[in-house]
Amino acid sequence: MQIPTEKPVVLSDLYGILARAVRVTVKDAPSRDAITLFESKNRKDLEDLEGSLLLETPTEWFHCMCFGSPALYLYERGGEFVQLTNHHGSSVRCSLWSSDVHVSNTEKWLSWFDQRGMTSPRQEVEAMRAQKEKRKRDWDRWLAAMPKAITGVWSGAQGQCGPRVDVAPLRAALERDVPNDKERILVLLEWFGSGAGPWSGFPSYEDAAEELLLGYPTTSIVEALQASAIRPAQAEGAARLFGGWSFRQQRPSGLKEVPDSLKKVLWNHVKNTKDTNKLERAAKSFAE
């Protein structure tokens, strides 16, 4: 994508304005009714801002989808101003240019806000970083729990159906390497019980285990669970399956095939959770 030519990025234009600016105002959003977070005519604040704003001229035009926060307004002596908006600590939008620009040193940029009592930019970046790390941990746990029979075909199955996983090659690999139905069901339950945690609003790749499990009759799943001692991850997978939206939609009477003794085991597994959505689903399915 080429950079539009009507307002190309010229970093020296912004730095020149920063050098001439007499006031900076920071608001929580780029809107008329936004709250003012900080305002200064102190030359040091402006010099520190210039020193913290290390930017890279983009090779391609890009625009973050959000409006940006906070919004900074730089005023020159004649009253003219330039607007900047912060986008997740990683890029900046400037009213001088058409494209956003990347911040080359996020720490310096965030520190300017920190030192002036504005903590929300760093809090947002840290929250995003923590979320990214959690997604990585969830993904690693999911891969580690994946049945060995399907590890070799998982990547290809992901690529064939966009965000959804094509379960046909997974099913074929499982049936080839794990010929016993009960064993296949148990490894799938353990896999389904090793997801990110929520029973609703979970990563789309976790649908694969549920879809494979729903390929078996409820009675077969029950028989597999009753055939041996239930491990915690298997109990989680079974509770999640029987208490989930898909099971209720596809098998409205399916819970009648789950014996009360098994429902009690699954309820005992879930009842102390702090996840209210999971608890409500489990209560409807196992504690009625």
Q: 11-125: which CATH topology? A: Dna Ligase; domain 1 (3.30.1490)
| CB count in 10 Å sphere of residue 32 | 6
Q: Is the pLDDT of residue 52 over 60?
A: yes
- pLDDT, tens digit (0-9, with 9 covering 90-100), for 171-225: 999 999 999 999 999 999 999 999 988 898 888 899 999 999 999 999 999 999 9
With cut-offs at 50, 70 and 90, classify the pLDDT of residue 159.
Answer: low
DSSP assignment of 262-285 equals HHHHHHHHHTT-S-HHHHHHHHHH
Q: Check residue 201 and give its pLDDT.
A: 85
d(CA 220, CA 205): 24
Domain range annotation of the chain: 11-125, 146-286
With cut-offs at 50, 70 and 90, classify the pLDDT of residue 91.
Answer: very high
Q: Check residue 139 and give its pLDDT.
A: 93
Output the CA–CA distances (angstroms, integers) from residue 21 to 18, 44, 47, 56, 164, in the order listed: 5, 11, 10, 21, 52
CA angle 257, 261, 262 (to 5 degrees): 60
**Quick check: 27 and 71 in contact, CB under 8 A?**
yes
| CB count in 10 Å sphere of residue 112 | 19
